[in-house]
Structure 1
Amino acid sequence: MSTDFRYPQDDTVTASEGLTPSQTIGPFFKFALPYDLGSGVVGPDHPGAFRLYGQVLDGDGQPIPDSMLEIWQADPNGDLVSTPGIYDEPGGDRFRGFGRCGTDEAGRYEFRTVKPGAVPTVDGHPQAPYVAMAVFARGMLRQAVTRVYFDDEAEANAADPLLSSVEEERRRTMIANRVEDGYRFDVRVQGADETVFLDVFAR
């Protein structure tokens, strides 16, 4: 039997095993975590479909290869999915409003989605189009939540109440940049250029 992970390690022959070392998160039960629809909020032939992609980076700018992202959003009319479940037939093309994607070895992720319509606040104030994003990564006890706005919605972004409440120099960390085949949005979980995350769990 291997003693590589015995604790304490100073005497792996006669010493008792000692206490089990603590860990920050896990273990996880992953049943149904990967699923067939995966990162496709819409099917490949859905009108207006594009790539929303980027990297998840740590405080040193290094990729995080084993993180997971989830997104939720409204459809192009600004309507949220209200029917239970997101199941679609294989090859289906309907709007599902939700996507889940793990990062690869270079910390890259990619969703296939459409531009959401504007959803007003509960008091009727207009908001800019946005995608809600949750980031799960090693060492995080709780997912980090942010919004992804779009750089070609400058007028709407300027009037958005949440984005306007963020310090001006940090707003860019919540804005995806238009590229030839969609939008790029890099997530930085720490550091001077950290993505603005929202305290959605505040009591």
Structure 2
Amino acid sequence: MSESAGRLGLTPSQTVGPFLSIGLDWADGPDVVPAGTPGEIRIGGVLYDGAGEPVTDGLIETWQADPDGHFDHPEDPRGAAASSLPGFRGFGRAATDGEGRWEIRTVKPGALPGEAPHIDVSVFARGLLDRVVTRIYFPDEAANVTDPLLAEVPADRAATLVARPDGPGRLRFDIRLQGDGETVFLAV
């Protein structure tokens, strides 16, 4: 028997398929806070593929600190703390629609020690072997200039991490998976 005859070949890689959203989205998924919460904002945009086409079967997950900059999670280095904001979940999940649009209802998170206020984002979509991770930073936030992650990103690419105003109580954050204006993704 030859050396290679006793070994199996590599299993081909699989990407997320067309049934990604089955069981992953739910009615209140995009609501990090309930409607009518003081300070409520909507953040949304379009998820684009490498050819610049909208991804109509993607999923955007968000995770963020509460307005006081705390997580109700044991990994918060300051200790888990329940939010002082009623109904705050800290987590959102929004499926893209037929035009690649997604949106969450949330509030601006407080700053974490040494970091500017931000929202962590995971993107799941066809063609990806695993999720990709990025962040949403807030426009006109003074702490952006001292945020360690933003400081490491080349200036011409940092703009892909900062949402832009899109009307009263709204911010726009398009996500580009590849190509011109590709969103900065983090190695996690």
| Alignment check: 8 A CA contact 2:13 2:129 kept | no
Q: Which amino acid aligns with 1:25?
A: T
| Alignment check: 8 A CA contact 2:40 2:105 kept | yes
* Pair 1:112 & 2:102 matched: no
Counterpart pick for 2:143 among 146, 151, 156: 156
* Pair 1:25 & 2:39 matched: no
Q: Which amino acid aligns with 1:172?
A: A
User: Over residues 27-50 of structure 1, what are the superposed CA-to-partner deviations in whole Å (9 max), with x where a residue is unaligned?
Assistant: 668674222321000000211111
Give the secondary-structure state (helix, strand or coil) at the position aligned to 2:99. Answer: coil
* Pair 1:75 & 2:60 matched: no
User: Over residues 33-68 of structure 1, what are the superposed CA-to-partner deviations in whole Å (9 max), with x where a residue is unaligned?
Assistant: 222321000000211111101000112221010000
User: Over residues 87-140 of structure 1, what are the superposed CA-to-partner deviations in whole Å (9 max), with x where a residue is unaligned?
Assistant: xxxxxx5100000010001100010000000011xxxxx110000000001010
1:46 counterpart residue number: 37
Counterpart pick for 1:172 among 142, 145, 159: 159
**TM-score (structure 1 length as normaliser):** 0.76
Q: Which amino acid aligns with 1:54?
A: G
Structure 1 residues 142 and 26: CA distance shift in structure 2, 3 A: closer
1:128 counterpart residue number: 116
1:87 counterpart residue number: none
The correspondence of residues 5-24 of structure 1 with structure 2, limited to 5 A, is 24=14
Q: Which amino acid aligns with 1:63?
A: P
User: Highest Rg: 1 or 2?
Assistant: 1
**Structure 2: stretches of 5+ with no match in the other structure:** 1-11, 75-85
Structure 1 residues 45 and 168: CA distance shift in structure 2, 3 A: same
* CA distance in 1: counterparts of 2:187 and 2:59, whole angstroms: 19
2:52 counterpart residue number: 61
Tell me which of the two structures has the higher relative contact order, counting C-alpha pairs closer than 8 angstroms and 6 or more residues apart.
2
Give the secondary-structure state (helix, strand or coil) at the position aligned to 1:36. Answer: coil
* CA distance in 2: counterparts of 1:184 and 1:73, whole angstroms: 17
Alpha-carbon RMSD:
2.0
Question: Percent identity among equivalent residues?
Answer: 47
1:137 counterpart residue number: 125
> Which segments of structure 1 move beyond 4 Å, counting only runs of 4 or more?
26-32
2:3 counterpart residue number: none
